[in-house]
C-alpha cells in the first residue's frame, strides 16, 4: 500500500474521548483525512447575494473515494475549494489531518497545498513546453524533493504512461493528458487527491480510464480521493456519494450504483425546485444559481 500522508500531521482529527478499557472497540472511529466544521460562505450583496455553503459540516475518511454531487448552485465546487485550501470560509474550519487551514499564513498554506494535496481538474493544466515526464515531476522540483524511482515507476506503470513519457501534451490524447495530470497529482504522495469534474472534457472511454485510475489509487496505493462530479456513472465508482442542496448536506449513499445515484440526485433536485416553483408566478422563469456550483 502507498504510504501516503505526512506522519503525525496526517493522522486525522480524533474527536472521541480517550478509552481506558483494555478491550478496544470492535468498530473504531475511521481515520479522517479532512474534517469540515460549520462552513459558511457568501458571495455578493443585496439581491445578488448567494450563499453556496450554509453551516455545512463533513468528514472525509482516509483511504476512501468520496464523490460530491448536487444540483447546479448546491455549493459542491465551493466546498471542494474549501477542502483543498483554495478558498476560505466566512466562518467555520477545515482540518487537513490535524492542521487547521484558516490558522495558516499564506506561505504555509501554499506549502500545504503543494505538499499534501494533489489536484486534478477538468482542464488538464499541463505545461505545453514540457514532456509528460517533466510535467509529472514538476511538483517535486518546485518543492525541492528528490524523486523516489520506485514510486515513480510504479505510478507510471499503473497509469500506462511508460511509452508516453517523452511526449509533450499536444502529442497526447485527452485521456493520456488527464492520466499525466493524475500522475502529477500523486507523485508527491499527498494526503488527499481532489478532482473537480475530472472526466468532464473526455469521451466515455477516456473518462472510464481516468475513473479506473482514481479507483486504483485508492485500492492499490491507499490514496484518499475527493471528487466533484455531475455524472452518476462516475460517482458510482466511489465508496461514498455525498449529496448537497442549497449549501447543506442533503444525504449520502454508501456502495452506490448508477441507478441509485441518479434516483437520489433527481430527488434532491426536485426537493430544491419545489419551494421556488410554488412561490414563483406562473410565467416567471426559474431562478439562476448565481454562478455557485
pLDDT of residue 147: 81
Per the listing, cell 476560505 goes with 88
Average pLDDT, rounded, for the chain: 84
Nine cell digits for residue 174: 485527452
Nearest to 252 by CA among 114, 76, 66: 66
Distance CA 26, CA 146 (A): 41
Per the listing, cell 506503470 goes with 157
Residue range 174-191, pLDDT digits in tens:
989 999 999 999 888 899
Distance CA 134, CA 70 (A): 36
Nine cell digits for residue 30: 475511521
Kind and range of the H or E element at 177?
Answer: helix 174-186
pLDDT of residue 156: 87
Mean pLDDT of 28-43: 91
pLDDT of residue 274: 64
Residue range 84-120, pLDDT digits in tens:
999 999 999 999 999 999 889 999 999 999 889 999 9
Q: Are 42 and 49 in contact (CB under 8 A)?
A: yes
Nearest to 199 by CA among 256, 121, 125, 145: 121
Nearest to 94 by CA among 171, 182, 192: 192
Domain residue ranges of the chain, discontinuous segments joined by +: 62-86+115-274
Residue range 186-234, pLDDT digits in tens:
888 899 999 999 998 888 888 898 899 899 999 988 999 999 999 999 9
Is the pLDDT score of 15 beyond 90? no
Mean pLDDT of 123-130: 92
pLDDT of residue 51: 92
Q: Are 214 and 227 in contact (CB under 8 A)?
A: yes
pLDDT of residue 146: 84
Distance CA 97, CA 83 (A): 11
**Beta-ladder partners of 196:** 121, 228
pLDDT of residue 275: 56
Residue range 273-288, pLDDT digits in tens:
765 544 444 444 433 4
Distance CA 235, CA 262 (A): 10
Mean pLDDT of 2-19: 42
Mean pLDDT of 140-162: 85
Q: Are 237 and 260 in contact (CB under 8 A)?
A: no
Residue range 42-93, pLDDT digits in tens:
998 888 889 999 999 999 999 999 999 999 889 999 999 999 999 999 999 9
Helices (H) and strands (E) in the chain, counts: 8, 10
pLDDT of residue 30: 81
23: pLDDT confidence band, cut at 50, 70 and 90? low
Kind and range of the H or E element at 32?
Answer: strand 32-43
In terms of CATH architecture, what is 62-86+115-274? 3-Layer(aba) Sandwich (3.40)
Distance CA 19, CA 173 (A): 53
Amino acid at each position: 500500500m502507498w504510504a501516503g500522508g505526512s506522519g503525525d500531521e496526517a493522522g486525522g482529527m480524533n474527536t472521541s474521548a480517550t478509552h481506558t478499557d483494555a478491550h478496544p472497540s470492535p468498530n473504531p472511529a475511521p481515520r479522517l483525512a479532512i474534517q469540515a466544521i460549520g462552513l459558511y460562505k457568501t458571495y455578493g450583496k443585496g439581491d445578488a447575494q448567494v450563499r453556496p455553503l450554509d453551516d455545512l459540516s463533513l468528514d472525509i475518511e482516509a483511504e476512501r473515494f468520496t464523490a460530491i454531487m448536487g444540483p447546479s448552485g448546491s455549493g459542491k465546487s465551493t466546498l471542494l475549494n474549501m477542502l483543498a485550501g483554495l478558498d476560505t470560509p466566512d466562518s467555520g474550519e477545515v482540518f487537513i489531518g490535524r492542521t487547521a487551514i484558516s490558522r495558516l499564513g499564506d506561505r504555509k498554506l501554499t506549502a500545504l497545498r503543494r505538499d499534501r494535496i494533489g489536484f486534478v481538474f477538468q482542464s488538464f493544466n499541463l505545461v505545453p513546453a514540457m514532456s509528460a515526464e517533466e510535467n509529472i515531476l514538476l511538483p517535486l522540483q518546485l518543492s525541492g524533493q528528490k524523486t523516489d524511482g520506485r514510486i515513480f515507476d510504479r505510478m507510471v506503470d499503473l497509469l500506462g504512461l511508460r511509452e508516453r513519457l517523452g511526449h509533450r501534451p499536444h502529442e497526447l490524447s485527452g485521456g493520456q493528458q488527464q492520466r499525466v495530470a493524475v500522475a502529477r497529482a500523486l507523485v508527491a504522495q499527498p494526503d488527499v487527491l481532489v478532482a473537480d469534474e475530472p472526466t468532464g472534457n473526455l469521451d466515455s472511454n477516456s473518462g472510464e480510464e481516468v475513473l479506473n485510475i482514481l479507483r486504483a489509487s485508492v485500492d492499490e496505493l491507499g490514496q484518499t480521493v475527493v471528487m466533484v462530479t455531475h455524472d452518476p456513472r462516475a460517482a458510482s465508482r466511489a465508496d461514498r456519494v455525498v449529496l448537497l442542496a442549497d449549501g447543506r448536506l442533503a444525504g449520502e449513499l454508501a456502495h452506490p450504483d448508477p441507478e441509485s445515484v441518479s434516483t437520489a440526485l433527481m430527488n434532491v433536485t426536485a426537493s430544491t425546485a419545489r419551494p421556488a416553483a410554488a412561490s414563483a408566478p406562473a410565467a416567471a422563469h426559474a431562478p439562476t444559481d448565481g454562478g455557485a456550483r
